[in-house]
Chains A and B, each alone.
Chain A
Amino acid sequence: DQQVKQNSPSLSVQEGRISILNCDYTNSMFDYFLWYKKYPAEGPTFLISISSIKDKNEDGRFTVFLNKSAKHLSLHIVPSQPGDSAVYFCAATFNYGGSQGNLIFGKGTKLSVKP
Chain B
Amino acid sequence: DVKVTQSSRYLVKRTGEKVFLECVQDMDHENMFWYRQDPGLGLRLIYFSYDVKMKEKGDIPEGYSVSREKKERFSLILESASTNQTSMYLCASSAGAQPQHFGDGTRLSIL
Residues of A within 8 A of B (CB): 6, 9, 32, 34, 36, 41-46, 49, 89, 95, 98-100, 102-103, 105-108
Contacts and interface: CB of A to CB of B under 8 A. Distances in A.
A47 B31 CA distance: 20
B94 interface: yes
B42 A103 contact: no
Interface of B: 4, 9, 31, 33, 40-45, 48, 50, 58, 90, 92, 94, 96-105, 107
A9 B40 contact: yes
B2 to A, nearest CB: 10
Contact of B103 (A43, A49, A95, A108): A43
Given A45-B102, A49-B99, A107-B41, 15 more contacts: A6-B42, A9-B40, A32-B97, A36-B102, A41-B107, A43-B4, A44-B102, A89-B42, A98-B97, A100-B96, A100-B98, A103-B100, A105-B43, A105-B44, A108-B42
B78 to A, nearest CB: 20
Nearest to A45: B102
A36 to B, nearest CB: 8
A43 B104 contact: yes
B48 to A, nearest CB: 6
Contacts of A34: 99
